[in-house]
A and B are shown apart, each in its own frame.
Chain A
Amino acid sequence: MNTSDTHALTGVYVTDALDFDERRASDEHLRACPECRTEIEGFRATTAVLAEVSAAEPPATLRRAVLDSVDRGRQTPPIHDAKRSRSSRQLPTKFWQGLAAACVVIALAATLFGYSQHLHGDSVADPGVAAVLREPDVMATSGDLSTGQATVLYSARGQVGVLLGRSIPSAAAGKTYQLWVMHADPTPSTSMGLFHPDALGTVLVTFSGDLVPGDRLGVSVEPASGSSAPSNVLAVLPVRS
């Protein structure tokens, strides 16, 4: 990228005016260019002031809806600096893009959960799932989990994912399922929380995190309070190619 291109890049970057592929290329450049990053920070602060002219009163019901949804939403743990530098904005080597992929993913979700509404329909059953499906780079992987099947949808761009399962038996008494992001050695696995299938064996767990190529999603069976590292691993699904 030559200098004039580089300088011009900062404005379209901050205003999200780049197409997705261009954005990926820019991320790469910005990692190596402190001048651009400084300019971008200033532009972000500028656009934050600009947004004052579009301020509008949200519907009164929205506050309740937001607080209800965070009440159910899991939070992402802070990441260690070492991991941040390793993983920051690493680019996936392969994308499921375009209509075909979107159709596959939507059909999959529809099969599993009877989502009848279109992706952009007016109502969305689960905001977490909807958010994942809406990402243009969402990838899907399926595999067996115990006696049932599990599918993982993950978007590297949105750093959000969802584990869907069906016909998953309940964990044995005093046990729980635990979801993990399993990193390449020597980084220890990160817990993404505990989960239990519902009475019909359905599982729906949303998670968020900056997964890098090589990271996999694991499901283990643990004592009821969960563990700090996976012990009895039932399934491992590749998430990022």
Chain B
Amino acid sequence: MTRPLRRQGRAQPAHDAAIRTLESLIAASAHGDEEAFGQLYDLTAARVYGLVLRIIRDRGHAAEVTQEVYLEVWRQAARYNPSKSTALPWLLMITHRRAVDRVRTAQAGSDRDLRYAEKNVERAYDNTSETVERSLDAQRVRQALGQLTPVQREAITLAYFGGYSQTEIAGLVKAPVGTVKTRIRDALIRLRDALGVNS
């Protein structure tokens, strides 16, 4: 079961003297602390694997890419700079890029058609999806997605959860690339404000 990270953090046993933040777990991993790395995995694997799976849509390949992501995190841990980014955005940036690279190189293109794309758009804010944990955060995200205009929602979903390039999206939604760019940015601004993310 996936729970929001904050609650998992609090659920640490009381004898675990200090509750370790993701940032401190990455710092410890940079020194070769495999136990800290294991904890980092436990706290983040559902989000990493889930995002990869959403983009790649094949469980075997998603597991493989997830493994690559953590290997990269392990290797690059010393270069993670907590003053520049909190841990989860950093980790998911690596995750997203790896998944997108895989799906584009593999050109799973054959079935990356509009019909699938539309299904993917629906799924992003569909409460009945079986793989989605109904956490408060997830509900909040769905509400925020629901506040976007349909074309904004379509653009951000195709880009972030579909892994499509702006050129592919322009083709799918039959709009100029410049329009797609603007829609994605506008969507992110509205989501950022709706979710109260501090930048």
Q: Which A residues are within 8 Å of any B CB, using their own CB?
A: 5, 7-12, 14-19, 38-39, 41-59, 62-63, 65-67, 69-71, 73-79, 119-120, 122, 124, 127-128, 130-131, 134-136, 158-160, 208
Contacts and interface: CB of A to CB of B under 8 A. Distances in A.
B75 A66 contact: no
Contact of B178 (A8, A55, A62): A8
Interface in B101-144: 101-102, 105-106, 124-125, 131-133, 135, 137-138, 140-142
A103 to B, nearest CB: 13
A8 B183 CA distance: 8
20 contacts: A12-B166, A12-B180, A18-B165, A46-B188, A49-B195, A54-B131, A55-B46, A56-B50, A57-B50, A58-B50, A59-B63, A66-B71, A75-B32, A78-B30, A79-B79, A120-B105, A127-B68, A127-B71, A134-B101, A158-B72
A55 B138 contact: yes
A45 B101 contact: no
Contact of A49 (B34, B77, B141): B141
Given A17-B165, A49-B137, A49-B197, A8 B75 contact: no
A80 to B, nearest CB: 11
Interface in B52-91: 53-54, 59-60, 63-64, 66-68, 70-72, 74-79, 84-86, 88-90
A134 B160 contact: no
B181 A8 contact: yes
Q: Which of the four size classes fits the interface of chain B?
A: 35 or more
Contacts of B102: 134
A169 to B, nearest CB: 29
Most buried by B among A15, A76, A128: A15
Contact of A45 (B89, B133, B141): B89
Nearest to B159: A15
A44 B192 CA distance: 9
Kindly name the residue among A18, A58, A71, A130 whose own CB sees the greatest number of chain B CB atoms within 10 A. Answer: A58
B54 to A, nearest CB: 4
Contacts of A5: 178, 181
Interface of B is mostly: helix
B2 A55 contact: yes
Give the secondary structure class of A's interface.
helix
Given A38-B199, A53-B132, 9 more contacts: A5-B178, A8-B181, A17-B169, A18-B165, A57-B2, A70-B74, A73-B75, A75-B78, A76-B76
A216 to B, nearest CB: 21
A128 B71 contact: yes
Contacts of A127: 64, 67-68, 71
A42 B84 CA distance: 11
